[in-house]
Amino acid sequence: MSESKQSLSASEPGTALWMSTFAFTICFAVWTIFAIIGISISQDLALSEAQFGLLVGTPILTGSLVRILLGVWTGRYGGRLVYTLTMLAAALATFLLAHATTYPQMLLAGLGVGLAGGSFAVGVAYVSPFFPPEKQGTVLGIFGAGNVGAAVTKFLAPFVLLAWGWQAVAEIWAGVLVITALIFWFTTSDDPAFRDRRQRQVPQRSLAQEFAPLGSPQVWRFSLYYFFAFGGFVALSLWLPRYLVGVYGFDIAAAGMIAACYSVPGSLFRAFGGVLSDRKGARSVMYWMLGVSAVATLILSLPVASEEGGFGITPAIFIVTVFVLGFVMSLGKAAVYKHIPAYYPDSIGAVGGIVGMVGGLGGFVLPIAFGLLKDATGLWSSCFLLLLAIVAVALLWMHLSIRQMERRALSLPTASAA
């Protein structure tokens, strides 16, 4: 691997990072396309809240489940090839979505659209080998800032939708994804880890070896953090336009703009979270993220202010608080992935894939849960009560695990002395 890294040209790491980040931005824009066009589809088909939640969450399901497989394939066949093919397949499904006319057809097309979300696991495994461990928090934070693609969809899709209809949004987004795949293929090179294995003709690891780290509780603890930090971010990105329309009576364009403004800092500050994780430690960042998130979700769980006045969450308080929540979530997303190359350098694809899969499943499960809770309780704010419960469990598990590790560390000198 070291020889392979030495043979890299000076521009290759930077090109790999920035092209991967650009490609992930476009993939994320496609992945969250239902956040905007789903509202028009829901109106056309007269969907219930639960049906709307399922429609919005279907691409998230596929994008989550394929992450572990795509992560392993990246290690075996190289990130450049897997990334390109993933984008092309997602583009085809997005184009076919424009020609779907029934709810089942749209759900089926949504499964294919979800392949765009699987690109995250590919990008993590592809970009990491280009950089040394001390820079990987920052590098993966920059790459993860491609989450800003959600804002791209929320900013632009409403105007395309109002001008030409939701079908045009799907066709244009598919075309852009094809162009992105071609640009990526012709401007990037294979990652050094894959080149090194190919040059030395290293035999492929067995599936048992690939997935061996998944038996560690630590992997699943990281997954829970990501379930909230990433899954919660995606869920709110998708649900926020619906929430603003239903609770505060915003029109779709205004709701889309506010949701886009939520997504931008919640994405770009992921890079800042990577820098903080490199400099201050991922553990400290995680404590701050979960602590602030607990306070924010508690505030957002309070009743909405009535038109007659009185105590409640006004639109201004809601927007400020949800922006704070998005900011700290972005820091947490970077902190989680700072751990993976450090603890599992030989299994970045598999471990990064499973953590990303669980986080992505949060983006699928939570919008459905939000819809079911709203249908069952009649309370829009019930979604934030659910997020508060998840934060509480994650914070408690992290604290107990860290205390246990500290006790073990203290016992080692005693055992050595004995």
In this prediction, residue 1 carries a pLDDT of 44
User: Cα–Cα distance between 15 and 12 in angstroms, integer?
Assistant: 5
306: three-class secondary structure by DSSP: strand
Provide the 8-state DSSP code for 230. Answer: I
DSSP state of 303: P
Residue 236 near residue 326 (C-beta atoms within 8 A): yes
Q: What is the rounded distance in angstroms from the CA atom of residue 223 to the CA atom of residue 220?
A: 5
> b or e along 280-313 (b: 16 or more beta carbons within 10 Å of the residue's beta carbon)?
eebeebbbbbbebbbebbbbbbeeebeeeeeeeb
Beta-bridged to residue 313, according to DSSP, are: 304
- Beta-carbon contacts of 195 under 8 Å, excluding residues fewer than 6 positions away, are 4
Rg (CA), the chain: 21
Quick check: 60 and 117 in contact, CB under 8 A? yes
Q: CA nearest 83: which of 12, 152, 184?
A: 184
**Orientation of helix 12-31 relative to helix 79-97, angle to 10°:** 20
The CA distance from 234 to 67, in Å, is: 16
φ, ψ for residue 102 (rounded to 5)?
A: -120, 160
Q: What are phi and psi of 99, to 5 degrees?
A: -105, 10
Phi, psi at 308, each rounded to 5°: -80, -5
Cα distance between residue 326 and residue 296, in whole Å:
10
| Contact residues for 358 (Cβ-Cβ < 8 A; gap 6+) | 64, 220, 223, 224, 226, 227, 231
- The three-state secondary structure class of 205 is coil
| Longest CA span, the chain | 77
Q: Is the distance from CB of 23 to CB of 87 less than 8 angstroms?
A: yes
Report the alpha-carbon distance of residue 135 to residue 381 in Å, rounded.
40
CA of residue 287 relative to chain centroid, distance: 20
Q: What is the DSSP letter of 229?
A: I
Cα distances (Å, whole numbers) of residue 166 to 39, 239, 256: 10, 18, 14
- Residues pairing with 304 in the sheet: 313
218 within 8 A of 233, measured Cβ to Cβ: no
Domains of the chain: 13-189+216-407 (1.20.1250.20)
Q: Which residues of 158-179 are buried (b: 16+ CB within 10 A; e: fewer)?
A: bebbeeeebbebbbbbbebbbe
What's the CA gap between 148 and 163, in Å, rounded? Answer: 23
Which pair of structure tokens corresponds to residue 219? 């992997």
Helix ranges, 32-148 (H): 34-45, 49-77, 79-97, 103-113, 119-127, 136-144
Query: What pLDDT was estimated at residue 310?
Result: 52
Measured CA to CA, the distance from residue 323 to residue 329 in angstroms comes to: 10
208, containing H or E segment: helix 207-211
Consecutive sets of 10 residues in the chain, 418 residues long: mean pLDDT of each? 53 87 93 84 78 80 83 83 94 91 88 90 86 79 82 84 89 95 92 74 63 74 90 84 84 79 72 80 85 93 65 82 89 82 70 81 83 86 92 90 77 48
pLDDT at residue number 25: 93
What is the distance between the alpha carbons of residues 241 and 76, in angstroms, rounded to a whole number? Answer: 40
